[in-house]
A and B are shown apart, each in its own frame.
Chain A
Amino acid sequence: MKIRIKFAKSGVMKFIGHLDMMRYFQKAMRRADIDIKYSEGFSPHQIMSFAAPLGVGITSDGEYLDIEVNSTKTTEASIKNLNLAMVDGVEVLEYRQLPTDAKNAMSIVAAADYKIYIKEGYDNPYSIPEWQEKLNHFFYDRSEVLVTKKTKKSEKVMDLKQLVYDFQILEEANRPVFYLKVCTGSTDNLKPELVLLAFYEFLSLSYEEFAFQIHRVDVYAKKEGEGFVPLGDLGNDILTEIPAHQDK
């Protein structure tokens, strides 16, 4: 059966890259005694996939990975066991069973929410109302906002109006926080820092790479008629233990 796990990544764990997080969870599954399924062959590996890789330096309250298991304890017991196997800075939040026909997380990711904080020690040039006004000039008052996404091989022009689903200035501890909901996934992946860079360039502000702490809030799939739903909402809590199928 398929299980979707949601976890948060904070503190120093932001320096651990995606591939190392995968290795980390492979070992954590064994420590937590999750009855995970293995592939066949001489070097069997766990059946596990992550929804959307998180860049080094970014924290998150909404990371997802899918696994397949032979049997499972309840959601409550599994979360408890997994959290006993975690290090500081990684916390398992959800453990839910997916319908048999569910597609894996990676293939259905459609959007992600981010909060971007200006780090201490870096200038905040405007008040909150000023930021809001400038955001209107940059984003809401324009019919298209073109940016160039540079990769190693090519340059691609993208329209932020199509790929940014929400953009707001929030206030936390008297400081502005940029809130973004952006298109995420394998086809039109938009990194939040690219949006912020475009905003800063529009304002003729110098953009310093290390001035911002990016925090992912949640990751979403698009559901017919319902809009964006958090990936975790596609599963259900397990209330009673499910034993392994005898017939395999």
Chain B
Amino acid sequence: MSKKLALSDEILLTVDKPARYIGNELNMVKKDPESVEIRFCMCFPDVYEIGMSHLGMQILYDMFNKRDDVYCERVFSPWPDLHEIMKEKNIPLFALESQEPIKNFDFLGITIQYEMCYTNILQILDLAQIPFFAKDRNWDVPLVIGGGPCTYNPEPLADFFDLFYIGEGETQYDNLFALYKDCRKKGISRADFLHEASKIPGIYVPSLYEVTYKEDGTIKEMKPVYEDVPAKVEKQVVTNLTDATYPEKPIVPFIKATQDRVVLEIQRGCIRGCRFCQAGMIYRPNREKDIDVLKKHAYEMLKNTGHEEISLSSLSSSDYSHLEELVSFLIDNFKDKGVNISLPSLRIDAFSLDVMSKVQDIRKSSLTFAPEAGSQRLRNVINKGLTEDVILEGAGMAFEGGWQKVKLYFMLGLPTETAEDMRAIAELANKIAVRYYEIPKDQRNGKCQITISTSFFVPKPFTPFQWARMYDRDSYLGRAKVVNDAVKEQLNKKSIKYNWHEADVTVLEGIFARGDRKVGQALLKAYENGCIFDAWTEFFDNEKWIKTFQEIGMDTDFYTMRERPLTEIFPWDFINAGVTKDFLIRQWNTAQEEKVTPNCRMQCSGCGAMNYKGGVCFEDKN
């Protein structure tokens, strides 16, 4: 019969979606836990369906399990219904594969993808029965290691993690595992192991750094407590993406995950350099994967999963050099087998419209533009090269090809934004509608539908906007109102729909994105006050957060409302993320001058990422 589950039938038949907790999915790796030297539990601190959609986790799961001496398993945030039961019955959090408590593992690796999952990290530690604070842990519990984009400012989480891995996971885990095995064999203390680990490139051990503050609350100095601990932690980069390991047999969940398809990573990084975009900076340099390897992966992964859809993953697919060839290959080889091809992040032009007409139902599908700012002035500030002419031309072509739905994405609260920029959002939408109605009535299909969505801008570390101020909730909502009022004034207002995001979450996100170590206490207090699943509107409770900040007497405006002087030491300055501070300052200044910087293929801007000796920086130079 089958193995024993960690949860009883009674519990599994009571909670929503028991499939989240039983494992056993297709391509799940099965090993005898007794046969390995390292047990690693990989955690995505959100619900199963979200976590299982994450590519990075599948890559590392596959990579770790290719080693005979490691068994990598998975865990996700138990949904609040199960959370209650586990707390009440004192059931320790378990890994899906072996169903065994993760507190007995060697490593708990947590991927940190967005700020609003921070309380879920504390939930994981709490349910796993692992002490919250790294300083309270000994060899009886796993080493808690964090990775992912949020670790480019790990400081709000510094107290809760033994180590962080800064950068791409493919490069240094073998060294970390070798050190771990060696240290455990020799009976070395946890503190000494961490000390040694801090010397591995990319590994950051927060307990080995001391932070002092000035009277105004900003950082005076951050330095290692030992001389042999590096003052700067080097971001890790896979130089050759083509040869990098890739999961050809990804796990296929039983319940529908958000990403219920084969994901083909065609490149990492982006040549564009939008000034608000953290991914565009921290994943530099842009590196493409060889097309023949991609074709092989596509074939293998579809065969090994049975998925009915394949999607290309990258920050800007249109910039992939062999996109046409790749897309044609996918259509020619898989379309007839009932495999759908999904192409996110495509620039709208003749090629993409032709492809889309082959893979989608034009009547049902919509075109997506992300101008991010309404006016050309502000688009220059953020370095979004998209011009109004390009948008209108793309939309015009699409309308003539039979499309009638357009989605537009913008941000509000960008640096230098004025009311004029906000109104320009509505005006741009109107111009697109006008373009649609230029088509003779007998050649078009009724009304067009233009949907505007705005989110509020949150400045992120290692971007040219890392010095920028944010605004308060009322100011954000006021900006949305300006757009909403402007939409109502447009001639084609009946063809335009406007959605905007909540503002409370934006403010919190801003606190954590650029927070320092002092913010950690707020996180723990908030968790104790019941904050959990903050990324979910149905669970997010702003009142609890306000209460938390009041209880600990934290002035959150310090983190959000200040424009930082160029001289300020940031909590994340100890990381070398590839892009230099000089470059970011230059970009911050160029932004104020409303000037566009050419993309990496047109002209090198000297960001610093050339040091990694690969990718776009060396294209056509071999």
Residues on A facing B (Cβ under 8 Å): 10-13, 15-17, 20, 23-24, 26-31, 38, 42-46, 56-57, 85, 87-89, 119, 209-210, 213
Q: A23-B256, A31-B303, A56-B18 are in contact. Are A11 and B9 (CB under 8 A)?
A: no
Q: A16-B19, A30-B308, A46-B338 are in contact. Are A24 and B254 (CB under 8 A)?
A: yes
CB-CB under 8 A from B5, the residues of chain A are 12
Contact call A31/B256, Cβ cutoff below 8 A: no
A70 to chain B, nearest CB (A): 12
Interface string of B21-44 (1 = CB under 8 A from A): 011111010000000000000000
Instruction: Choose from A15, A26, A209 the contact partner of B306 (Cβ within 8 Å).
Output: A26
**Chain B contact surface mostly:** loop
Q: A46-B338, A89-B24, A210-B13 are in contact. Are A15 and B18 (CB under 8 A)?
A: yes
Instruction: Choose from B19, B305, B361 the contact partner of A43 (Cβ within 8 Å).
Output: B361
Q: A13-B24, A20-B254 are in contact. Are A31 and B306 (CB under 8 A)?
A: yes
Contact call A89/B2, Cβ cutoff below 8 A: yes
B85 to chain A, nearest CB (A): 14
CB-CB under 8 A from B337, the residues of chain A are 30
List 6 A-B residue pairs with CB atoms under 8 Å apart, sorted by A's residue number.
A11-B24, A16-B19, A31-B303, A42-B361, A43-B340, A57-B9
Q: A12-B5, A85-B306, A88-B24 are in contact. List 5 more A-B contacts (CB 8 A).
A: A11-B1, A12-B24, A16-B19, A20-B254, A23-B254
CB-CB under 8 A from B13, the residues of chain A are 15, 56-57, 209-210
CB-CB under 8 A from A46, the residues of chain B are 338
CB-CB under 8 A from B355, the residues of chain A are none
Task: Say whether B360 faces chain A, with CB atoms less than 8 Å apart.
Answer: yes
Contact count band on B? 20 to 34
Output the nearest chain B residue to A38 by Cβ-Cβ distance.
B338
- List B307-342 residues whose CB lies under 8 Å from chain A: 307-308, 337-338, 340
Task: Say whether B244 faces chain A, with CB atoms less than 8 Å apart.
Answer: no
Q: Which 5 A-B pairs have the closest CB atoms?
A: A11-B2, A27-B306, A30-B306, A42-B361, A31-B306
Q: A17–B12 Cα gap in the complex (Å)?
A: 12
Contact call B9/A119, Cβ cutoff below 8 A: yes
Task: Say whether B590 faces chain A, with CB atoms less than 8 Å apart.
Answer: no
Contact call A87/B360, Cβ cutoff below 8 A: no
Q: A210–B15 Cα gap in the complex (Å)?
A: 13
Contact call A15/B19, Cβ cutoff below 8 A: yes
Contact call A20/B2, Cβ cutoff below 8 A: no
CB-CB under 8 A from A31, the residues of chain B are 303-306
Task: Say whether B10 faces chain A, with CB atoms less than 8 Å apart.
Answer: yes
Task: Say whether B255 faces chain A, with CB atoms less than 8 Å apart.
Answer: yes
Q: A11–B307 Cα gap in the complex (Å)?
A: 24
Interface string of B469-497 (1 = CB under 8 A from A): 00000000000000000000000000000
Task: Say whether B252 faces chain A, with CB atoms less than 8 Å apart.
Answer: yes
A244 to chain B, nearest CB (A): 13
Q: A177–B405 Cα gap in the complex (Å)?
A: 60
B217 to chain A, nearest CB (A): 51
Contact call B2/A12, Cβ cutoff below 8 A: yes
Q: A31–B307 Cα gap in the complex (Å)?
A: 9
Contact call A12/B306, Cβ cutoff below 8 A: no
Contact call A30/B302, Cβ cutoff below 8 A: yes
Instruction: Choose from B10, B12, B255 the contact partner of A20 (Cβ within 8 Å).
Output: B255
Instruction: Choose from B9, B26, B308 the contact partner of A87 (Cβ within 8 Å).
Output: B26
Contact call B2/A10, Cβ cutoff below 8 A: yes
Output the nearest chain B residue to A27 by Cβ-Cβ distance.
B306
Q: A43–B255 Cα gap in the complex (Å)?
A: 20
Q: A87–B255 Cα gap in the complex (Å)?
A: 14
B448 to chain A, nearest CB (A): 21
Q: A17–B338 Cα gap in the complex (Å)?
A: 24
CB-CB under 8 A from B302, the residues of chain A are 30
Q: A209–B8 Cα gap in the complex (Å)?
A: 14
Q: A38–B334 Cα gap in the complex (Å)?
A: 13
CB-CB under 8 A from A88, the residues of chain B are 2, 24
Instruction: Choose from A12, A23, A57, A119 the contact partner of B23 (Cβ within 8 Å).
Output: A12
CB-CB under 8 A from A89, the residues of chain B are 2, 24
Interface string of B204-246 (1 = CB under 8 A from A): 0000000000000000000000000000000000000000000
Q: A11-B2, A12-B22, A87-B25 are in contact. Are A27 and B308 (CB under 8 A)?
A: yes
A5 to chain B, nearest CB (A): 15
Contact call B2/A210, Cβ cutoff below 8 A: no
Contact call A42/B305, Cβ cutoff below 8 A: no
CB-CB under 8 A from B25, the residues of chain A are 87
Output the nearest chain A residue to B302 by Cβ-Cβ distance.
A30
CB-CB under 8 A from B9, the residues of chain A are 57, 119, 210, 213
Q: A26–B5 Cα gap in the complex (Å)?
A: 27
Q: A20–B18 Cα gap in the complex (Å)?
A: 12
Contact call A87/B24, Cβ cutoff below 8 A: yes
- List B101-155 residues whose CB lies under 8 Å from chain A: none
CB-CB under 8 A from A213, the residues of chain B are 9
Q: A20–B303 Cα gap in the complex (Å)?
A: 20
CB-CB under 8 A from B364, the residues of chain A are 42
Output the nearest chain B residue to A16 by Cβ-Cβ distance.
B254
CB-CB under 8 A from B254, the residues of chain A are 16, 20, 23-24
Q: A166–B146 Cα gap in the complex (Å)?
A: 59
Q: A210–B8 Cα gap in the complex (Å)?
A: 10
Instruction: Choose from B22, B256, B308, B338 the contact partner of A15 (Cβ within 8 Å).
Output: B22
- List B248-262 residues whose CB lies under 8 Å from chain A: 252, 254-256
A48 to chain B, nearest CB (A): 12
CB-CB under 8 A from B22, the residues of chain A are 12, 15
Q: A30–B307 Cα gap in the complex (Å)?
A: 8
Instruction: Choose from B10, B19, B24 the contact partner of A210 (Cβ within 8 Å).
Output: B10
Output the nearest chain B residue to A85 by Cβ-Cβ distance.
B306
CB-CB under 8 A from A210, the residues of chain B are 9-10, 13
CB-CB under 8 A from B303, the residues of chain A are 30-31
Q: A89–B1 Cα gap in the complex (Å)?
A: 9
Output the nearest chain B residue to A33 by Cβ-Cβ distance.
B303
CB-CB under 8 A from A42, the residues of chain B are 360-361, 364
CB-CB under 8 A from B308, the residues of chain A are 26-27, 30
Contact call B19/A20, Cβ cutoff below 8 A: yes
Output the nearest chain B residue to A36 by Cβ-Cβ distance.
B338
